[in-house]
Structure 1
Amino acid sequence: MPSVARAFGGPTESLIGYAQAARTQGMDVHVAAPSVSAEDEAWLREQLPEVTFHFFASAGQHAYVVAPGLWLWLWQRVDQFDAVHIHGLFNPVSSLSAHIGIARGVPTVMRPFGTLSRYTFSRRSGLKRLYFALLDRPALRHAAAVHFTTEAERDEANRLSIDLDGRSAVVPPPWRGETTTPDREEKADRPTVLYMSRLHPKKNVQGLLRAWAQVVADRPDAQLWVAGDGDDDYVQRLHDTVAKHGISDSVSFLGFVSGTEKERVLREAWAFALPSHQENFGVAVLETVAAGLPVVISGEVQLRSFIEENDLGCIVDRTDPSAIAKGLATVLADNAGRRRVAEDGPRAVKETFSVDCVGGELRDLYESVIHN
């Protein structure tokens, strides 16, 4: 894994979920990654007391981290394992680790983190494309299996002409939290939409804010809570957009929320919005549905099929603020629909994404690559 820091967000949370799911099946799990802070390491060990961690010194930042000690350890030790599961592409930690596993003849599973999407490649520089051609594409072609979290992610990868040849598997990250049916008496006394994710251009927060200006034109009592943090320059642009559209009275920036504050906003919000340009899975979507909130998401959020199949919200066109506004207005006006999602959402999450269920799917994946 290129990073298991808590700040890495969804990828770290999903890794913890996969490790817990594997443990339910009696598997021994080792995690190798660049070193993290003492606080993060203690947190990880608390989350995964039965997992063995191997941390290594690293240099660089973001996608340019190198960890020579990790590669040396893997080269010397990888044949002691039945399979190696590589999380991520487009970074040296993951890419070179995949090549080591393949070169040493150990069944190697690669999880792309949603990086094989059209959106991702439309924003790749020439250098990134060269990197993919030289390192990641050859590794994907020789991997024992490629692990996707949704069918939509696999469909996107197929468009890149990577010959998966029956070597792909869809195993979603498990839901590790509680599923709760909300108490409607605890809802905010005003129509309230929650955004809770990183503040990043990919998440299309600007489009949400432009749509919100249309929502409050018809419902002046509505409020939007924006929970999350991001780069200072981008956050300032969001504040400028709010000021430009004159919606300061209805938009609150909450910053990063956790613990009791996170529980409060999930409990009091009426609905959740995430009109992303691209979303590999959508852990925040799963989290809010588990709390009984209907969602308004773009078609590029790859949990879309789960939302549609269980009628848990609206799918909107991310490029059209009017479409986003219509979806938000529809959910806020549908009292019966919100009551139904409060009952059906937590149950659907539990039935589809439980740790035990995902553990069985992981075992099937590993046994397949080992035997084949």
Structure 2
Amino acid sequence: MQLRILHVIASVNPTGGGPIEGVKQLAKINENYGHKIEILSLDDPASEWVGKFPHPVHAMGPASKIFGYTPRLVPWLRANAHNYDVVVVNAIWGYNCFGTWLALRKSSLPYYVYTHGMLDPWFKYRYPLKHLKKMLYWPWGVYPALRDARGVMFTCEEERMLARESFWLYDCNEIVVNYGTPGAPDQNKDYGAPFLEKHPELKNFRRFVFLGRVHPKKGPDILIESIAKLRDKGLWDMKGMRLIMAGPVDGPYAESLKSLSRRLGVDECIYWTGMLLGDDKWGALQCSEAFVLPSHQENFGIAVAESLSVGVPVLISKAVNIWRPIVMDGAGLAEEDTVPGCVAMFERWFSMDTTHRELMRSKSHECFASRFTSRNAAISLLSNIYQVIYAEKHESSRGDALRTHAVR
């Protein structure tokens, strides 16, 4: 059965990170299975990333900067609902979610919601004032959208359980689905050598990589402070090791991190690349000894799975919700999302001999292939959609039969 699937998301801008990357990869796999995929976004139609996106995009913007409101979304979705079999909403705190509920709450068209980690209670404790605002919006803006969805999708059991702790008013059909990424386009290609040719300053060093948004949630300050602690312990060789910081650097937070590294005297061993895409991204991962992410909150972590796909072990915090299967598979290490935790993780890594580290590299790709591919994620999503569609058709047929019998 061919499905017509509409993904609703705030923006298709690639700087949005995991959610839009996940949508892109799921769409690609689902199209390969013969399904029709389209995107409904709040972007300005004139935005360059709209035209470059590899799947059809219906851009409803320009939208307001704070909530993403656009008057075009609800009328368009109501008028075009008959063109789709299912709608998948990505993220919950913008008008893309609330507007979808407004448009479809009286419709028979089923919709699902990916929360993308936005119900993790960490946000409640880290940003209490923002949480107060969310508490005012939740009962009428998010709660009904989740309650009326055919399913609210979580990428692991840990994310599902944590979601229940954020708001007292909570009622939805929870579904745990696989999530993933296709990994490197060519598993046999050497991406590392060309990357190092572009960045010769990194040659002849032991390299570690942080790849993702440069945001307080990701814990980059923890990483920089940990390097200073490791240096003081004689474990971080300032002349022989480099940390690749691969992420957008055009913001005040990135500048504060650079200032922190200068103040701690470790700025010479931190190499800022800016945001990396395509072969450059794979090269930064592949040429590194390990990927490091001491995040305070991560429901999945696309970059974690991408690192595993090229056989690079991951050193992550236990706030990355997929840490348990990774550690169980011997593909990485995990500690608390603190400076002592990050230091302990590096100490464990440095204590391993070469044979152990190489074994972990081989297990990294095995872990990715068995757990985190986008193919598995697409199959998981489709199986849940099919179950609902077939169940509703069965109920409809049963209802028709009962009505016919009653008439007789």
Q: Normalization by structure 1: what TM-score?
A: 0.90
**Match for residue 134 of structure 1 among 130, 140, 143:** 140
Aligned residue for 1:171, secondary structure, equals: coil
- State how 1:31-70 maps to structure 2 within 5 Å: 31-36=39-44, 37=46, 39-45=48-54, 48=55, 52-61=56-65, 63-70=66-73
Cα gap change, 1:75 to 1:362, in 2 (>3 Å):
same
Q: Give the Cα separation in 1 of the matches to 2:375 and 2:35.
A: 13
Change (3 A) 1:259 1:110: closer
State the Cα distance separating 1:318 from its structure 2 match: 0.8
C-alpha contact (below 8 Å) 2:181/2:302 kept by paired residues: no
Q: Secondary structure at the match of 1:4?
A: coil
* Partner Cα separation in structure 1 for residue 188 and residue 342 of structure 2: 26
Aligned positions of 1:20-35 closer than 5 A: 20-35=28-43
Paired with 1:330 and 1:181, the residues of 2 have a C-alpha distance of: 30
- Structure 2 counterpart of 1:234: 253
Which whole-Å deviations, capped at 9, do the CAs of 1:176-217 have from their partners, x for residues lacking one? 53364798x969533221111111111111111111112223
Partner secondary structure for residue 192 of structure 1: strand
Structure 1 counterpart of 2:162, from 146, 156, 162: 156
Residue number in structure 2 paired with 1:168: 175
Give the unaligned 5+ runs of structure 1: none
| 1:3 alignment partner AA | S
Aligned-pair CA distance for 1:9 = 1.9
Is the alpha carbon distance of 1:24 and 1:264 closer, same or farther for their aligned partners in structure 2, counting shifts above 3 Å? closer
Q: Which has the higher contact order (CA 8 A, sep 6+)?
A: 1
Cα distance between partner residues in 2 of 1:268 and 1:169: 34
Question: What is the identity, as a one-letter code, of the residue corresponding to 1:279?
Answer: E
The Cα shift of 1:60 comes to 1.7
Indicate the percent of aligned positions where both proteins have the same amino acid: 23
Give the Cα–Cα distance (whole angstroms) in 1 for the partners of residues 314 and 246 of structure 2. 15
Which has the larger displacement, 247-256 or 33-42? 33-42
Structure 2 vs 1, CA of residues 38 and 140 (structure 1 numbering), >3 Å: closer, same or farther? Answer: closer
Q: After TM superposition, list the pairs within 5 Å mapping 1:1-372 onto structure 2.
A: 1-36=9-44, 37=46, 39-45=48-54, 48=55, 52-61=56-65, 63-122=66-125, 123=127, 124-160=130-166, 162-165=170-173, 167-178=174-185, 180=187, 189-217=204-232, 218=234, 219-220=236-237, 221-230=240-249, 232-319=251-338, 321-334=339-352, 335-370=354-389, 371-372=391-392
Aligned residues between the structures: 364
Q: In structure 1, what is the Cα distance between the partners aligned to 2:176 and 2:106?
A: 22
Q: Could you list the runs of 5+ residues in structure 2 that have no partner in the other structure?
A: 1-8, 197-202, 393-408
Deviation by residue 1:65-124 (Cα, 9 ceiling, x = unmatched)? 112212111012213322211111111122221332232132111111211110123323
User: Higher Cα Rg: structure 1 or 2?
Assistant: 2
**Residue identity opposite 1:310 in structure 2:** D
Following superposition, the deviation at residue 25 of structure 1 comes to 3.1
